[in-house]
Amino acid sequence: MKLFEEPVDPSINHLPYDGEVNYYGPIFPTAAANTYLTKLLSELDWQADEAIIFGKHIQTKRKVVWYGDLPFEYTYSGILKRAQTWPNTLLAIKAQVEARCHESFNSCLCNLYHDGSEGMAWHSDGEKDLKKHGAIASVTFGAERKFGFKHKINKNSIYLQLEHGSLLVMKGQTQDHWLHRLPPTTKVSQPRINLTFRSIEQR
């Protein structure tokens, strides 16, 4: 089941129920998206991701870095993250994303997948520090990858291809009722950067 049909209409909610997902397609021209990909690969402070899974501390091949308004702390996958100061490249992308989806964000979790062998298992972004039912804007630079949603109760699943320079926005009750994942694939040999702009509530 495809999440969208051409032409892309960002006003359409592509989840059938229990949430809101809007896909904008590529919002950056190819030349600009290529430039951002190169800059993000070289300029961001990429580090191996850490998580607590079933009580075990692990590191992933996937690299991450977190930026946000300072001072800032955030617990993600059982690990305390401290935000770094926004780099200018990321601020420029953030401004364009906010203008397109009419939302505002105070942080960004950046993910680097080196190739198709690296992915993300089924999960929902339900950390207690996230703004309740706030929007999460996901921007893709680099390799086009399949992205899936699965309903937590009836297991209905939906997949789409996230394109280079594209924007996907999840909001409303999406995280309450749906899981999402980036499945690994042997068909992709190029890197993909995923920027997830979020609103964190400091307590």
Q: Please say if the pLDDT value at position 52 is more than 50.
A: yes
Sorting pLDDT into bands at 50, 70 and 90, what band is 203?
Answer: low
Mean predicted lDDT score pLDDT of the chain: 90
According to the model, what pLDDT value does residue 82 have? 81
- Write phi, then psi, for 194 (nearest 5 degrees): -120, 120
Query: What domains sit in the chain, N to C, each tagged with a CATH number?
Result: 20-198 (2.60.120.590)
- Whole-angstrom distance, CA of residue 36 vs CA of residue 125: 25
Question: What pTM was estimated for this model as a whole?
Answer: 0.90
**Tokens matching residue 119:** 């992915």
pLDDT in tens, 1-11: 444 445 688 98
Which residues lie closer than 8 Å to 151 by C-beta, 6 or more apart?
Answer: 18, 157, 177, 178, 179
**Tokens matching residue 100:** 């397109």
Q: How many CB atoms lie within 10 A of CB 4?
A: 18
